[in-house]
Amino acid sequence: MTLRAFVGQLIALMAMAVAMPASADTRDEVQTSWRLLDYIAVDYLEAVEDGKVTNELEYAEMQEFSASIVERMAALPANAQRAQLVADAEALAEAISAKVEPAVVARDARRLASELIAAFPVPLAPDAVPDLARGAALYVQSCASCHGVSGDGAGPAAEGLDPPPIAFDDVARARERSAFALYQVIGQGLEGTAMPGFSDLPAEDRWSLAYYSGSIAFPEVERGRRIWNDEPAIRARIPDLAALSGLTPAALGEAIGTERADAVMAYLRAHPEAVASDTTGSLALARERLQQSLAAYEAGNKTEARELALSAYLDGFEPLEAVLSTRDADLLASVEIGMAELRAAISRGDPVAAVAEKVNALDVLFYRAETVLAPANASEASAFLGAFAILLREGLEALLIVIAMIAFLRKAERTEVLPFVHGGWLSALGAGALTWVAATYLIGVSGAGRELVEGFGSLFAVLVLLSVGIWMHGKSQAGEWQRYIRKTMQHALSRRSAWFLFGLAFLVVYREVFETILFFAALWSQGHTDAILAGAAAAIVLLALIAWAMLRYSRRLPIGTFFAYSSVLIGILAVVLAGKGISGLQEAGLLGITPLPNLPRIPILGIAPALEPVAAQILTLALIALGYWRNRMKGMQSGTPQAETG
């Protein structure tokens, strides 16, 4: 039986156990028989070599155990498989009597054990993730006196025991032991030895002890972690605790090599939670779409491959992006760069092997992201900081623009227009609440739709901010401002312009509210709601303090200096939003991507590692510089100073 077939069978058996539970007596008989078969598979090689007995005592034990197995098989309840089980048990006993090669006996014993569990299902995996710290404490308390503190089999009570206690640090023997086999021995003891049963221990404690004792011989935990994280094919072989519990390092070594298998089992037995992650942070959809994209590309359908790769990001990964950004920003950047490079490779028509390599690299990143996103890694502190950082980051951009508008109107002594600005941002908050209700209960907001709203909203805001920033820079000259006040103030702040300010306030705030809602929805699914609300409240308080400080400071500035500072601030925001807008349209699939892998991603500045958003930011800077230069030329021609500072 292949390893893949064996793992598949274990999973099927767990389901069968629900449908056909065994009685308590039958379960005990099955478990004991399974344990004896496992013992034969491991220890027969100590008794026979080249057809000759090398250890009389051990060989006698093998004969006794095989005879016991025949009797136990015959005593099982009648079903369609029992006769074959008895026949196979008799064949195994005859093989031992004939002193056949250990490899053959081990193979037949394991096959019979598998057939036994298939016919009479019993639980093969723990109900919860084993606790290695608890296992270590139990080992010191109940096992170290015989097996030794280090697992060398030379504890103070081991002297005179025949056979001697198992040395858990014996790698050759440990490779042949599954966690389930150890669990069975811990619960029932071992006939013919001094090993007692610990059936009084709760099942979860026996599993914890089994995983701990099974980890002693395998020290390369960190190497195993790297292999496990980097190789999706190995993770596919061990999908859950049932597969891990029934798997021996030797069986895994047949598939991936002995040394690598030892390292992987070192990691998984020390960290069984690695195969028992909650699906809350699952990127299964993203993985599925990536594989579909690769299959479409291999079939020559480049357009479909590109759309599926885009869906892998928008629908599979982006909903969890906000949470990941608060826990591992570097990993988030790696995923976004990898997704951009994959779409670019598909668009260029790169060789299938190159595209497959990028898909595999992303699968590795997705696994790491799932590990980071697992609820076990969520804490009240991370939830608080995540909510605080998201709201502060998204709120600050909108706040700066709205406060600049309010300060401008106060400086211009046109406070009667302020209600339009306040109405704009308050309406945006209301619209955001309606968007949340609609997206949660009425309609689904697609990933592409989210990015299009953010992308086009950002670019429209850039156009408005460019005009406002250049206009403010021009009015930073004292003479120009006085001339403007006398000639155009009433026209500029007409009712039409007031509604324009309403629209600008609405747009910049709604864009940030829309994105914040999406981020908080993902964060909320991770739990710790009290911490999230506290983080959001702290961010709101800080934003309010920033607004108060800006408004208070702006009142003290001369009008020319205020306009000069405001024009610089608005110009910076325009550059940031230009990068974000183009990135949003790229992520929605509306624009192509030319990756710049060596460029860092700096979200707060709108910088993304791709040519197009960088070019948009450079163009925006150029337009700002051109506008400022024209203002300077006009100021020089009119003979007015550049700015009033007194």
Question: Which of 189, 207, 284, 198 is CA-nearest to residue 244?
Answer: 207
Q: Any idea what the Cα angle at residue 350 is, between residues 345 and 351, rounded to 5°?
A: 135
H or E element at residue 466: helix 447-475
Is residue 314 a contact partner of residue 451, using CB atoms and an 8 Å limit?
Answer: yes
| Cα separation values, 213 from 148, 181, 327, 572, Å | 11, 11, 33, 60
pLDDT category at 454 given cuts 50, 70, 90 is low
Confidence of residue 532 (pLDDT cuts 50, 70, 90): confident
The 10s digit of each residue's pLDDT in 153-212 is: 888 888 888 778 888 999 988 888 888 888 888 887 776 677 888 878 888 899 999 999
Residue 25 or residue 272, greater confidence:
272
For 116-162, what is each residue's pLDDT tens digit?
877 887 666 787 888 888 999 999 998 989 999 998 888 888 888 87
DSSP 602: B
- Per the document, the length of the chain is 646
What pLDDT, on the 0 to 100 scale, is given for residue 291?
84
Q: How confident is the model at residue 244 (pLDDT cuts 50, 70, 90)?
A: confident
Rounded CA gap, 178 and 173, in Å? 11
The answer on pLDDT for 380 being more than 80 is no
Rounded CA Rg of the chain: 35
Quick one: pLDDT band at residue 274, thresholds 50, 70, 90? confident
pLDDT value of residue 225: 86
Amino acid 367: pLDDT? 76
**Average of per-residue pLDDT values in the chain:** 76
411-447 pLDDT, tens per residue? 666 777 788 888 888 888 888 777 666 654 444 444 4
* Position 562 confidence tier, pLDDT thresholds 50, 70, 90: low
For the ranges 107-116, 232-241, 456-465, 560-569, the one whose mean pLDDT is highest: 107-116
Cβ pair 466, 625 in contact under 8 A:
no
Q: 460-495: per-residue pLDDT in tens?
A: 656 655 655 555 555 555 445 445 444 444 444 555
DSSP letter for 610, please: B
Structure confidence by residue, pLDDT tens digits, 13-71: 443 343 344 455 677 788 778 778 877 887 888 889 989 999 888 898 899 989 999 99
Reported as type and span, the H/E element at residue 285 is helix 284-298
CB 407 within 8 A of CB 554: yes
Between 4 and 520, whose confidence is greater? 520
Rounded CA separation 643/389 (Å): 36
Give the separation between CA 391 and CA 395, rounded to whole angstroms. Answer: 6
pLDDT in tens, 228-241: 877 777 887 787 78
Query: Which residues make up the CATH 1.10.760 domain(s) of the chain?
Result: 132-276
Residue whose token pair is 């120009």: 480
Statement: residue 271 has pLDDT above 80 = yes
Q: Give the pLDDT confidence score for residue 88 in this predicted structure.
A: 92
What is the CB neighbour count within 10 angstroms for residue 201?
16
What share of the chain has pLDDT > 90, as a percent?
10
Q: Give me the torsion for CA of 345, 349, 354, 355, rounded to 10°.
A: 60
For 176, the token pair is: 């042949």
How many distinct helices (H) and strands (E) make up the chain? 28, 2
In the prediction, which pLDDT does 215 show?
93
- C-alpha span between 172 and 193 (Å, rounded): 20
Element of type H or E holding 625: helix 611-638
Answer positive or negative: Cα dihedral of 73, 79, 85, 90.
Answer: positive
pLDDT band with cut points at 50, 70 and 90 for residue 213 = very high
Q: Which fold has domain 132-276?
A: Cytochrome Bc1 Complex; Chain D, domain 2 (1.10.760)
Residue 132 and residue 270: Cα distance in Å, rounded?
A: 7
- Report, as an integer, the average pLDDT of 601-616: 79
Contacts of 201 (CB under 8 A, 6+ apart): 138, 186, 187, 209
Q: pLDDT band at residue 363, thresholds of 50, 70 and 90?
A: confident
* 356/222 Cα distance (integer angstroms): 27
The predicted model scores a pTM of 0.44
> Taking 90 as the threshold, does the pLDDT of residue 575 lie above it?
no
What is the number of other CB atoms lying within 10 angstroms of the CB of residue 429?
Answer: 12
